[in-house]
């Protein structure tokens, strides 16, 4: 049965805090891993390299999502 924090022993409170932090840290780690996977994706790397070349050579213009998809292929 749920108890208020004031009714918990120090050990119960510590266990509660650790379980909350554990859940939060798991979510943060999952997010970091997903971000790294996307950044290391070969299609993303190819797109970034192409974009940098376009910037250097002055070929930047507004593009549609379809054009971005074509660049990734």
In eight-state DSSP terms, residue 4 is: -
State residue 63's pLDDT score: 63
Residue 53 has pLDDT above 60, yes or no: yes
Residues 6+ positions from 47 with CB-CB distance below 8 Å:
68, 71, 72
- Note whether 46 and 73 are same-domain residues: yes
Residue 63 located in a structural domain? yes
Q: Are the C-beta atoms of 38 and 45 separated by less than 8 Å? A: no
Token pair of 64 as six digits: 């549609």
**Total domains present in the chain:** 2
Check residue 25 and give its pLDDT. 92
Q: Answer yes or no: do 66 and 45 share one domain.
A: yes
| Domain interval for residue 24 | 7-37
Angle at 32 between CA 30 and CA 36, to 5 degrees: 115
Instruction: Please check whether residues 65 and 45 belong to one and the same domain.
Output: yes
Give pLDDT tens digits for 11-32: 998 998 999 999 999 999 999 9
| Of 33 and 63, more confident | 33
């Amino acid at each position: 049965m749920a108890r208020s924090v004031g009714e918990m022993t120090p050990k119960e409170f510590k266990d509660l805090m650790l379980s909350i932090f554990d859940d939060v840290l798991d979510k943060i780690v999952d997010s970091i891993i997903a971000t790294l996977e996307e950044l290391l994706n070969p299609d993303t790397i190819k797109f970034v390299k192409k974009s940098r070349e376009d910037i250097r050579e002055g070929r930047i213009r507004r593009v549609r999502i379809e054009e971005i998809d074509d660049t990734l292929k």
